[in-house]
Structure 1
Amino acid sequence: MDILQVCVVAHLQGSSHFKLLPAAIPYWPCIREWHGLSLSWRIWTWSISLPLEVTDFLWPRWGLENTERLLDLLHTDRFVSRPLLVHAFSIGCYTFSQMLVHVSQNPEKYEAFPGRIKGHVYDSAVVGSVEKMAKGLGITVFPHCEKLVTKASLLYFSAFKRQTVDHFNRGIEVFKSTPVRAPVLFFFCENDPLSDHLAVEEVLDLWRKRGMDVTGKSWEDSTHAGHLRRHPQEYQLVLDNFLYSLKLSALQSRM
């Protein structure tokens, strides 16, 4: 039985449908498509890719609907017995927290889900203040009208606080108190316009104090959700070591 990787990637354009892809550990079809890189690994598995739109982040209820569909898919007969490996990028990290919101709201239905996750990787998690997120949206999504987008985003978040900011805060709190106790790897950088690296480090310290196996790889200068392209050798080495520490090949051999 193959390990199933859940890849949560943010796209500005593209299909909102799930994709089931044959992969070499585990999500690289997503990465090759996203970064144009060719990578190969020695452990073969399957990958479910959940492409996201910015609107899933700006209107969290839509994101909640998508993540509930994904959770239900993972609990179908085809996948319910498979161990999972999560790799989330950018706002995909927040989207995974929405999956955990569903788990917290429906503990009986999704009771086994946290234990099925054998490892989770977060690349450029969007963590920090609303002001930083608004400014980051302007820089990364609409760089030619950054100031206008930043002001418009702050007005939007203020006008729809209950539908946006309150959801963000709830997702972040559930993420911090995650029921997933599997080893975790974080990739982040100090100059990320969408993520506060100090806030990320606080999450890592919190999880270490809870006894979780936490690995963090940071750079002073890198690109939001672009660490693999900026630092390919370091990225691959850290990720390779993390994946092998999970002993996924041994897990597969017992199935």
Structure 2
Amino acid sequence: MALRHLSSTLRHQSFKGYHVSATHWQHKLENNTALPKLSKNFRLLSADEFVSNKAVARFTPETRPLVVMLTWMNARRKRVDQYSSIYLSKGYDVLTVTIDGWQFLFPTRGAQTVAQDLLNYLHQFSIRGNQPLLLHGFSIGAYFWGEVLLKIKADVEKYSELLDRVKGVIWDSTPDFKDTVKGLPFAIAPHNLPLRVMIRSYITFHLLLLYPLATKHYIASSRALHSTPCTAPILMLICRNDPIASVESNLNVKRSWESLGIETSIKIWDESKHVSHYFLHTDDYMAEIERFLKKINFPTADANPNQIQSKL
């Protein structure tokens, strides 16, 4: 009975306010060929819709940066839009990617399918142009990117040009697999202690019972993240009091990346909040972003992000 109640609650908690709108702008290249249609897990925002012609005139459709934003569990549309506006104001396009609780808990039918959809989209894009990519991931987005990396590793030759187009990676509040049991309950029910206890019990049960269907995939994703074939510079943004993404696990993966020769920088706040550093430390956060964009040679001049937010 308790598990049935928890299952029902998880379903409502996971889907409420999390799925993105199916409405999106289909970006067109100079030859007017539309890109592949996106599923409900994706939302494509074109800078053409939000900023002046002057801001986007610096780029051709093939060279305008695309930010692939991997959102967190139960992300509110308004919050995601605020992050998107940072990049839209610079004339970049933004592709947001979401997975819900059920797609995480049952990865073979969920997260892995979305990962393949993302790869198909970006690969077709790479055939048509040379749009540089910036990855900005939050929380569970790191797990999802691990699933993407596993598919890339299975066919490196096919995706080598795609990897070359990734110029930088930003990780915000990202937990490793070991943080999942304690982290996911906070992500699903941050203000409901009894529900968090139930969710934690369910996840522990889930990981033990469904090892072949779920747990082994989480472990594989974590290993892929640690041994990433993507060698673009990385910026990590974390805090010491995050109950979901521990400093220890982040420093551990940082050491793994540095051992591969990947340039990795990190910003650690003493006090902040999971996936909320931008809102609690706006000036610091933006300074780190601007520094990183300059490092990877992305244009940093921009319009007012607040003006963009009002249009989203």
The answer, yes or no, to whether TM exceeds 0.5 is yes
Work out whether residues 12 and 54 of structure 1, in 8 Å CA contact, stay in contact via their aligned partners in 2: no
Secondary structure of 2:96's counterpart equals strand
User: In 1, Cα distance between the equivalents of 2:149 and 2:17?
Assistant: 24
Q: Percent identity?
A: 23
- Structure number having the greater strand percentage: 1
Work out whether residues 85 and 119 of structure 1, in 8 Å CA contact, stay in contact via their aligned partners in 2: yes
Measured after TM superposition, the shift of residue 154 of structure 1 is 0.5
Matches within 5 A, 1:162-173: 162-173=212-223
1:11/1:60 CA distance change after superposition, 3 Å: farther
Alignment correspondent of 2:266: 216
1:128/1:100 CA distance change after superposition, 3 Å: closer
Measured after TM superposition, the shift of residue 206 of structure 1 is 2.4
Is the aligned partner of 1:57 residue 2:104?
yes
Is the aligned partner of 1:124 residue 2:173?
yes
**Which one-letter code corresponds to 2:267 in the other structure?**
K
Alignment correspondent of 2:6: none
Alignment correspondent of 1:105: 154
1:44/1:88 CA distance change after superposition, 3 Å: same
**Which one-letter code corresponds to 1:215 in the other structure?**
S
Measured after TM superposition, the shift of residue 153 of structure 1 is 1.2
Work out whether residues 35 and 229 of structure 1, in 8 Å CA contact, stay in contact via their aligned partners in 2: no
Which segment drifts farther, 193-202 or 173-182? Answer: 193-202
Which segment drifts farther, 200-209 or 65-74? Answer: 200-209
Q: 1:43 aligns with which of 74, 90, 99?
A: 90
1:26/1:110 CA distance change after superposition, 3 Å: closer
Work out whether residues 18 and 48 of structure 1, in 8 Å CA contact, stay in contact via their aligned partners in 2: yes
Work out whether residues 84 and 116 of structure 1, in 8 Å CA contact, stay in contact via their aligned partners in 2: yes
Gaps of 5+ in 1: 1-9, 251-255
Secondary structure of 2:262's counterpart equals coil
Give the paired residue count.
239
Work out whether residues 101 and 171 of structure 1, in 8 Å CA contact, stay in contact via their aligned partners in 2: yes
Measured after TM superposition, the shift of residue 123 of structure 1 is 0.8
**Which one-letter code corresponds to 1:176 in the other structure?**
H
1:224/1:12 CA distance change after superposition, 3 Å: farther
Q: 1:176 aligns with which of 226, 236, 257?
A: 226
1:94/1:79 CA distance change after superposition, 3 Å: farther
Secondary structure of 1:181's counterpart equals coil
Is the aligned partner of 1:18 residue 2:42?
yes
Q: 1:71 aligns with which of 108, 119, 125?
A: 119
Runs of 4+ with deviation above 3 angstroms = 23-32, 35-43, 77-80
Alignment correspondent of 1:206: 256
User: In 2, Cα distance between the equivalents of 1:214 and 1:110?
Assistant: 23
Q: Please provide the CA RMSD for this pair.
A: 2.7
Gaps of 5+ in 2: 1-14, 21-39, 52-64, 301-312
Matches within 5 A, 1:215-254: 215-249=265-299
Secondary structure of 2:273's counterpart equals coil
Measured after TM superposition, the shift of residue 72 of structure 1 is 0.6
Work out whether residues 107 and 213 of structure 2, in 8 Å CA contact, stay in contact via their aligned partners in 1: yes
Work out whether residues 204 and 214 of structure 1, in 8 Å CA contact, stay in contact via their aligned partners in 2: yes
Deviations 1:222-242 (A, max 9, x none): 211111112111111111111
**Which one-letter code corresponds to 1:21 in the other structure?**
L
- TM-score normalized by structure 2? 0.69
Q: Between Structure 1 and Structure 2, whose CA radius of gyration is higher?
A: 2
Measured after TM superposition, the shift of residue 200 of structure 1 is 0.8
Work out whether residues 185 and 197 of structure 2, in 8 Å CA contact, stay in contact via their aligned partners in 1: yes
- TM-score normalized by structure 1? 0.83
Secondary structure of 1:122's counterpart equals strand
Measured after TM superposition, the shift of residue 33 of structure 1 is 2.7
